[in-house]
Amino acid sequence: MSQPPSNDPFAAPNAEVFPVAASTKPPWSPRAVGVISFFFSFVAGGILLGLNYERLGQPEKKVPAIALSALAFAALFGVAMVLPDDSRVADQLLRWTNIGAAVGLAQVQKQAYQAHVARGGATASPWPVVGICLAVAVVLGAAFFGLMYMTGEF
């Protein structure tokens, strides 16, 4: 963290330093991470966050970010499975947790991203990620409906 400015003209600068990105690929904006999290679950947002850590020069944070989002989603899903089907609590729990996670994930890398942009760094387009998320949603939806049809639940 940076400290308050000193009046000493000979004091060393104490600005917060962010690592220079080692990756040649530009990072996604925090807004893109939040929007992906909101529409496609915070697991997708966590994966994007992890990939962004690598693109922002912090590869050691990539796997923990992805693992933590997947574990949090599994825990949330487990809690929702224990609640009664006719309970509005499960719906509200999933909805508000996803919204909160989307807002939180959008804030995590905001400073590092702003420093990257201030250094003249480029920003990656979120549209390829949206396409991948839509393709995964279609495949999972088809598998779900196929399973429901085969078991006679549909």
pLDDT (mean) for 34-41: 94
Share of the chain above pLDDT 90, in %: 69
Band of pLDDT at residue 83, cut at 50, 70 and 90: confident
pLDDT (mean) for 34-54: 95
Question: Is the pTM above the cut of 0.85?
Answer: no
Q: Is 80:90 a contact under the CB 8 Å cutoff? A: yes
User: What is the pLDDT at residue 19?
Assistant: 60
Angle at 129 between CA 51 and CA 142, to 5 degrees: 120
DSSP-assigned states of every residue in 31-50:
HHHHHHHHHH-HHHHHHHHH
